[in-house]
Structure 1
Amino acid sequence: MNGMEELSKEISYALRHAPWEYDLEMDEDGWVPVIQLLSALHVSEKWKDVDENSLIEMIIKSKKKRHEIKNGKIRAFYGHSIPIKIVKDEKCPPNTLYHGTARRYLDSIKEKGLLPQNRQYVHLSQDIETARNVGKRHDDRPIILLINAKKAYEDGIKFYYGNEKVWLADIVPNKYITE
């Protein structure tokens, strides 16, 4: 793991899961003043040299677009386990999206559809490869589910653009899911 990747993971942890550990004051939309985050990072010798330009470089170079900076504030796009609702703009999704999952969850998904569980949104992949990689975090032979996103959207299911590989939804009822 390179330094930028490691920094991205550290910041993701702070913004998504434990802002209190870093003494961050997060607003209702998940924004934290950059200066406050930098002060928190500088407590660790490892991150003493990180400045706002380092954060911008991290965001630009990151393969996974996890963060955004605007008007002197930073936030994570998605993946929060803390009770904060990042408001996303609804977007029309591609016709098909994918979801990689462990085989052990298949029966529950067939019965209940895809639910956000301990996250704010259901995470869906733009392509099969990304879905497979996500699924492999939980199962060495994941199931790749096809989501009829076009039909779901037409029927009123809301989708949100996460980044170039990730789409988000509040829920995906089982009738839009096939193996």
Structure 2
Amino acid sequence: MAARLTSFLCWEHHVWRHFLEALCGAPPVLAAVQGEAPGAMYEFTDESKTKLFLGSTKSCYPPPAFWVDGALAREVVVGAAAVFGALASPHQQRGGRGDGSNRVDALGRLLTTVLRHMAPELSLGMRSDGYVRARDLLGLSLQTFAKAPLKSHSVDEIREAVRRDNKQRFSLLEEDGELLIRANQGHTVTTVASESLLKPILSADEVSVCVHGTYRKNLDSILQHGLKRMERLHVHFSSGLPSDEGVISGMRRSANILIHLDVHKALQDGMKLYISDNKVILTEGFDGVVPVKYLEKMESWPGRPPIPFQR
């Protein structure tokens, strides 16, 4: 296989990143950027150090390769999926050789990526509440990093992937004998509407803990600019501390900084807060940002020594 793959697609950087993570089995490392997204060329390096060059028809720096019009995005995705799946490590590839556990886990990982980030590009009929038909997903010409084509999976395997997911990332719905599935939170696609996907929080009494987990390296930026939703639709908060029983999602376990939201003040000033089916608290903030004045306190984790800051 050639060491380089070039595709020209009008996709933003974060979509490619999620796509590569699902299909290569590990987060890619962004090695170089030329231009602005969309319309930029990105050079990724996967865990086997294979370089993948990805860009768009608007790229100012096209690498030496064939030119594919952005309108053919879906066809290129199909071809790219096969290549990316083949780049998985030997350990990851074993999941496609009869190991049912890895096969279903790999399916769940791909479903997370598609449902959160890729539905419009793949022409899935996603509703405003995030649901798509399971049979439409199984008709996609994609394969998981376990090298199992989506078309080889069944609706029962989708059910099993949802059942096994320890962060309860998915919800299932039966309508007129048809199974629908959605990601509960974490979306970047603007097809979904907060009011349809999530339950609104109307009173601070509904929330005992609302905490955002992050890392010390991000603290200066947060204190200067507030909490940003970045490419996602919402800023994410957990409804409990990392050590609390029953808290399954909302922050990474490796977070070493905890930031508590002043829920009463946020609601009082008109900030919309929501809670997902898996108990993640979400907000769009104001124009995608939760300003510092709504941060109640900060503390290091574990140990919880307070971090002084000016609101």
Q: TM-score, normalised by structure 1?
A: 0.78
Q: Which has the larger radius of gyration?
A: 2
Partner of 2:260: 146
For 2:143 and 2:166, locate their aligned partners in 1 and report how far apart those are by CA, in whole Å.
27
TM-fit CA distance, 1:159: 1.4
Map 1:1-179; keep pairs closer than 5 Å.
Answer: 2-19=102-119, 22-40=122-140, 46=148, 47-48=150-151, 50-70=153-173, 71=175, 72=178, 73-87=180-194, 88-91=198-201, 92=203, 93-129=206-242, 134=252, 136=254, 142-171=256-285, 172-177=290-295, 178-179=297-298
Q: Distance in 2 between matches of 1:114 and 1:133?
A: 14
* 1:67–1:75 CA contact under 8 A, matched in 2: yes
Between the aligned residues of both structures, percent identity stands at: 29
8 Å CA contact 2:238–2:251 kept in 1: the answer is no
Instruction: State how far apart, in whole Å, the 2-side matches of 1:24 and 1:155 are.
Output: 37
Q: How many residue pairs end up in the alignment?
A: 175
Question: By how many angstroms is 1:160 displaced?
Answer: 1.0
Q: CA deviation at 1:21?
A: 6.2
- 1:2-59 CA-to-partner distances (Å, cap 9, x unmatched) read 4443222110111112236655233444332221112227867624553223222322
Contact 1:14 1:21 in 2 (8 A): no
Larger RCO of the pair (alpha carbons < 8 Å, separation 6+): 1
The 1:164/1:26 distance shift into structure 2, 3 A limit, reads closer
Give the direction of change, closer, same or farther, for the CA distance of 1:161–1:20 in structure 2 (3 Å limit). Answer: closer
CA contact (8 A) 1:85 1:120 kept: no
Q: Shift of residue 99 of structure 1?
A: 0.9
- The one-letter amino acid paired with 1:121 is H
Larger CA deviation: 74-83 vs 19-28: 19-28
| Inter-partner Cα distance in structure 2 for 1:31 and 1:164 | 15
Q: CA RMSD in A?
A: 3.0
List alignment gaps of at least 5 residues for structure 1: none
Aligned residue identity for 1:89: K
Instruction: Report the structure, 1 or 2, having the larger helix content.
Output: 1
C-alpha distance in 2 between matches for 1:60 and 1:19? 22
TM-score, normalised relative to structure 2 = 0.48
> Distance between the aligned counterparts of 2:294 and 2:234, measured in 1?
16
